[in-house]
Amino acid sequence: MHQTLYRKYRPRTFDGEGGVVGQEHVTSVLQYECAHDRLSHAYLFCGPRGTGKTSCAKILAKAINCEHPVNGNPCGTCYACTSIDAGTAPDVTEMDAASNNGVDTIRDLKEEISFTPAALKKRVYIVDEVHMLSASAFNALLKTLEEPPEHVVFILATTEMHKLPATIISRCQRFEFRRIRFGVIAERLLWIARKENIRLDPEAAQTVAKQAQGCMRDAISLFELTSAGGYDVTAERVADVLGLAGIQTQYKTAVAVAKNDASSLFSIVASVDGSAKDISVYWSELLGFWRDMLVAKNLTEAERDQYLDYTEPEMRLLLDGARRFRPEALTRHFALMEEALRDMIRLPQSKRLTAELTLIRMADAALDSSEAALLARIGALEDRLAMLESGMPPAALPASAPDSAPEGSPEPADTASSPMEKDSGSIPADRPSAEQNPAGNAEIPADLSEVIERCRAQKPGVAGQLMACDCTVSADGRRITVLTDSAFAQSMLSRPDNLAVLTSVFRLCGIGEPGASVTITTGAKPRQKNAVDELAEY
């Protein structure tokens, strides 16, 4: 008889191969209590669906009654373990409170627990979705839950702990299950794929894990769906079956919004609408991408890893998208996108129109008279004013800058150096190479993220060249060195007007001491482009 994968691979032990994963803060305590016979009379498992509450309840029931336990884990082979796994154990009762929520059910249970176990060591009652019990049923359960007979253990499980009376919670040993991290879910999916002899690409496993949103059961069900029909599970297969647009589409949308590129925006929406993907799914993914860009802008690299689940190539796309917007612009976009999502749910026949109009409003703050739009436009002007006050020459600013430019709207890229300079690839004699730095003055790496972001509004060409550069600052802060592997980039960044912009932006970003000299040299290690680099240049 066929069994679905999430039932076939339900954990049978607290740890080890095929055991519970992602809930070590719970399983380690339960395993210790079982190994040292320090069991409580009542347990409360609370947390999101599909995170292992019922599985842990069954494992705990087996560990309590196991004839040959191993370090707190059930052996899995004795009568108690096999009968509980098969659902035939006479002394282990599973009750769904959603369909048995009346006071009469609890009264029958109270009469039953007075009898000693028929075949096992203890009688175990697993009550799922316990928050569904009626008020009178909770009152009937209180006294029994506080002082049950020695041979009885209650295990209560719920997804909505806030609905439980405080009197019930106080009588139980409470364990809170957390959403499982996407990396842990992906590893379990790859393990199941090896067991089932199904080809599963790591990238596809990560995509499925993200869609599960911390729910292991959902992840395994989605994996089984994508592998149905004997297909190899690739990233393209997952996107096609689940109707996902993918991070590349989200990134392209962000770039088009930043550039105020209406043609690209209409093209992206038309592509999504013309495929098997649903626009509302694409819009939900886009909301998540915007949220992640806001997280990336406000946290350090070490902190980002706690809140963002991205592979290294995906993280590069996210960071490049985030650099194109100010925080107030992203906040304004959120308000527009949430309003659009509500309209899509209310009027599904107008999804495409809603998406197109919203993206155009996001790209051009001048089309929006809301307070958030005005703040975004003021923020762009403040950047220009700050650069002027810091000493940037007027020539470095656009000749005809509008009074209020929309956030993220690029200006014409800098003209390249003359063909002769480009072909010669010569390095000016007054620019020392990286190896000529004085040995006694150590060089400290500097982050160019904020520099690129500020340059993008005034000098898109400079920002583009800086993306492939490294930067160091002397220990005394008086010398800033920009390292590039391209002679063309070196000559372009060394132009007086571009160098003046860089000097001012470094001062605004607090890199180096005031008045520090900026030197552009060739010395960065060459980096080969991959598909993600090419997409980042979109």
**Residue 345 belongs to domain with CATH number:** 1.20.272.10
Same domain, 166 and 54: yes
7 vs 460, residue with greater confidence: 7
Same domain, 259 and 204: no
What is the rounded CA–CA span in Å between residue 247 and residue 334?
A: 18
Q: End of a domain among 191, 209, 242?
A: 242
Closest CA to 145 of 108, 116, 113: 113
What's the confidence (pLDDT) of residue 215?
92
Let me know if residue 308 belongs to a domain. Answer: yes
CATH classification of the domain holding 234: 1.10.8.60
Give the end-to-end CA distance of the chain in Å, rounded to a whole number: 51
Counting the structural domains of the chain, the total is 4
pLDDT exceeding 70 applies to what percent of the chain?
82
Confidence of residue 384 (pLDDT cuts 50, 70, 90): low
Let me know if residue 422 belongs to a domain. Answer: no
CATH classification of the domain holding 41: 3.40.50.300
Same domain, 58 and 162: yes
Q: State the residue for tokens 């106080």.
A: 170
Confidence of residue 46 (pLDDT cuts 50, 70, 90): very high
Flag whether pLDDT at 506 surpasses 60. yes
Confidence of residue 355 (pLDDT cuts 50, 70, 90): very high
Same domain, 30 and 61: yes
Sheet strands side by side (includes 152-158): 92-96, 123-128, 152-158, 42-46, 173-176
- Is the full-model pTM beyond 0.75? no
Quickly count helices (H) and strands (E) in the chain: 25, 9
> In angstroms, what CA-CA distances link 512 with 260, 453, 474, 492, 516?
34, 18, 8, 22, 6
Q: End of a domain among 242, 258, 283?
A: 242
Q: Identity (one letter) of the amino acid at 190?
A: L
> In angstroms, what CA-CA distances link 155 with 23, 57, 116, 128?
17, 7, 18, 8
**In the 3-class helix/strand/coil scheme, how is 229-296 assigned residue by residue?**
CCCCECHHHHHHHHCCCCHHHHHHHHHHHHHCCHHHHHHHHHHHHHCCCCHHHHHHHHHHHHHHHHHH
Q: End of a domain among 125, 152, 176?
A: 176
Ramachandran quadrant class, 189 (left: phi over 0; alpha: psi -120 to 50; beta: rest): alpha
Q: What is the pLDDT of residues 224-263, one digit of tens each?
A: 998 888 888 888 888 888 877 778 888 999 999 988 889 9
Flag whether pLDDT at 426 surpasses 60. no
Let me know if residue 432 belongs to a domain. Answer: yes
What's the confidence (pLDDT) of residue 425?
35
Q: What is the pLDDT of residues 388-415, one digit of tens each?
A: 555 544 434 433 333 333 344 333 333 3
Flag whether pLDDT at 63 surpasses 90. yes
How many Cβ atoms from other residues are within 10 Å of residue 194's Cβ?
11
Let me know if residue 396 belongs to a domain. Answer: no
Number of alpha carbons in the 13 Å side-chain half-sphere of residue 357: 11
The mean pLDDT value of the chain amounts to 80
Let me know if residue 374 belongs to a domain. Answer: no
Q: What is the pLDDT of residues 190-221, one digit of tens each?
A: 999 999 999 998 888 988 988 888 899 999 99
Same domain, 331 and 302: yes
Let me know if residue 75 belongs to a domain. Answer: yes
487: domain range? 428-536
What's the confidence (pLDDT) of residue 442?
67
Report helix, strand or coil for 459: coil
DSSP string, 209-232: HHHHTT-HHHHHHHHHHHHTTS--
Same domain, 202 and 339: no
Same domain, 234 and 342: no
How many Cβ atoms from other residues are within 10 Å of residue 435's Cβ?
7
Rg of the chain on CA atoms, in Å: 30
Let me know if residue 345 belongs to a domain. Answer: yes
Confidence of residue 511 (pLDDT cuts 50, 70, 90): confident
pLDDT exceeding 90 applies to what percent of the chain?
25
Q: What is the pLDDT of residues 13-36, one digit of tens each?
A: 998 888 899 899 999 999 999 998
Closest CA to 462 of 419, 496, 513, 511: 496
Same domain, 253 and 116: no
Let me know if residue 418 belongs to a domain. Answer: no
Flag whether pLDDT at 520 surpasses 80. yes
Closest CA to 235 of 124, 53, 226, 357: 226
